Structure 1
Amino acid sequence: MMRSFKIVILWCCFGFGLSGLAQETQGSFSTQITNTYSYGYLLRKPQNIKTKKPLIVFLHGSGEKGTDLEKVKIHGPLKYVKHHELYAYILAPQCPENTYWESESLYQLILKVSQENNVDANRIYLTGLSMGGWGTWNLAIAHPDMFAAIVPIAGFVDRVPLIEDCKIAAIPTWIFHGLLDDVVDVNYSSVIYKRLKACNANVKLTIFDDANHDSWSRVYDNPEIYEWMLQQIKK
């Protein structure tokens, strides 16, 4: 009885082993995924558009999302030009509710506006605050050949810009942040500034010791930032 029991067990195990052998097959797969992005935007045109003019692209923060384009005038260059003159196009797209800035669609929008207007392709500038600062980093990293200068303010920095920071080694960059920012930690700006210093000779960081998250009002109200931007020419 003992011998026959062993034989049965071995046969069962052997049979199970055969049925459990790995198999290898070949195949191929392709798919196409299409996303649609829609932006309302304001475009302010300068005087004398018969000659090429620079373009300033402004990305607002999360508080200005929606469909009311008046919101994109609350902060930034469009607020500044209410009382000052800038001899540049100003493009201010509006991010819809429940979405965030998406780099490829923004790139296509900038191309469209540039082609339809007398924009100097060597003088396109990108700036944004908070969520727009985050969008500025991502868009500049995705398309570093487009911009003559960038000004990110109080922006979160994703892992990709931190790793691939030297993609924007040729772009003059001026970073702003508030030391007391309790929404986006100032260390994001400090860390990417230190990383950029290794490969970008024209990078600056300004930290306002007394500013919380709103470090942008004093930046966008100051003529110096526009003068600095407009002096930069893509090489």
Structure 2
Amino acid sequence: MKVFALFILVISLYSDVHHDISKEQLLRVPYTSEIAHEEREFFLYLPKGYETNKEKEWPVILFLHGNGERGNGKDELEYSMIHGPLNEAWIQHRDLPFIIISPQLHMFNMGEVSYIKNRSRSSIPKRYEDSIPEKSKPFKPSWIMDPLPAKSFDSITETGLPDGWYRVESDLIHMLDYVQKNYRVRDKQIYLTGLSYGGFGTWYMASKHPDRFAAIAPVVGWGHPELMQPIASEQLPVWCFAGGRDRTVKPEYFYAGMNKLEESGHKDVRFTIHADMGHDTWKRVYGSEELYNWFLQHSKD
């Protein structure tokens, strides 16, 4: 009976501690954009337990979405959580131990792009307190895997695709500054990742501010060779992802930048091609544990 009573006591104590852990939070933080001179908002995710331990500092992920999730930073902000770490943490209820900064890129001149013009709010994922919605499955390309040689760039400059994240560089830095000042951030563990347009933006921001990040992960977005020297000089850890069957951002364009990193003396470069995947390779990357575990292995220390 004594053993049983002790077991009940341990279960009770565990339940009390578990019950006291604060829930995850999703905040909308207002800011004034320097590029548009307008008030907008960005999402700020605070992980489970953030309010419980007032002394604990947390690593940060700055996430840059793809082209189809642009918007006005107000009533369209929810489009930015369709994919990526914020979707995993908030919609899928995954216990990711990061503060997540998730801004929305301005529409700029992209409003008439078909997949933006014809999108519907029904595509915005819904969070349920007591259940997890079923994830959409990656698109299975019908075409064969086709290895191609590396190519150089002609019409695309180091800023990447037009009207991308490079245009809001100062806004992104101000968001980081604000979060570091007002929340319990582990300054040595700030990570940067993005998909597609956000992958291009990840390379750009890392090149311009390599000292701000502990590691970066561009997903289905290649980096221009002209961006690589600052990243290599800082020895900023890189894990880049491409889809072997991606016909939107073809893997053949990744090699010039990746080779330039190594030529520049970078010692910590990973390049993973998911040969069976198309452009939505990000679903596998952000849906796994590997990337998040890899981030946590890196610190500016």
- Runs of at least 5 residues in structure 2 that lack an aligned partner in the other structure: 1-33, 109-162
Amino acid across the alignment from 1:59: L
- The aligned residue for residue 190 of structure 1 is 255
Q: Secondary structure at the match of 2:210?
A: coil
Residue 107 of structure 2: which of 97, 103, 123 is its match?
97
Identify if the C-alpha distance between structure 1 residues 109 and 48 changes in structure 2 by more than 3 Å, giving closer, same or farther: closer
User: In the aligned structure 1, how far is the partner of 2:283 from the partner of 2:37?
Assistant: 29
- Per the TM alignment, residue 36 of structure 1 is displaced from its structure 2 partner at its CA by 4.3
Amino acid across the alignment from 2:50: N
Give the share of equivalent positions with the same residue, in percent. 37
Amino acid across the alignment from 1:91: I
Question: Conserved in 2, the CA contact under 8 Å of 1:128 and 1:151?
Answer: yes
Residue 72 of structure 1: which of 54, 76, 80 is its match?
80
User: In the aligned structure 1, how far is the partner of 2:185 from the partner of 2:210?
Assistant: 18
Measured against aligned partners, the alpha-carbon deviations of 1:40-99 in whole angstroms (never above 9, x if no partner) come to 310001223521110011000000001322212211101111231011101100011124
Q: Count the aligned residue pairs.
A: 201
Measured against aligned partners, the alpha-carbon deviations of 1:78-131 in whole angstroms (never above 9, x if no partner) come to 111123101110110001112421323211211111111111110000000000
Task: Show the 5 A alignment for 1:124-163.
Answer: 124-158=190-224, 160-162=226-228
- Runs of at least 5 residues in structure 1 that lack an aligned partner in the other structure: 1-33
TM value normalised by structure 1: 0.79
Q: Secondary structure at the match of 1:84?
A: coil
Task: Show the 5 A alignment for 1:82-231.
Answer: 82-98=92-108, 99-101=163-165, 102-158=168-224, 160-162=226-228, 164-167=230-233, 169-198=234-263, 199-231=265-297
Identify if the C-alpha distance between structure 1 residues 162 and 120 changes in structure 2 by more than 3 Å, giving closer, same or farther: closer
- Per the TM alignment, residue 187 of structure 1 is displaced from its structure 2 partner at its CA by 2.5
TM value normalised by structure 2: 0.63
Q: CA RMSD in A?
A: 1.9
Amino acid across the alignment from 2:81: K
User: In the aligned structure 2, how far is the partner of 1:178 from the partner of 1:86?
Assistant: 25
Task: Show the 5 A alignment for 1:2-41.
Answer: 35-36=35-36, 39-41=40-42
Structure 1 runs of 4+ aligned residues shifted over 6 Å read none
- The aligned residue for residue 16 of structure 1 is none
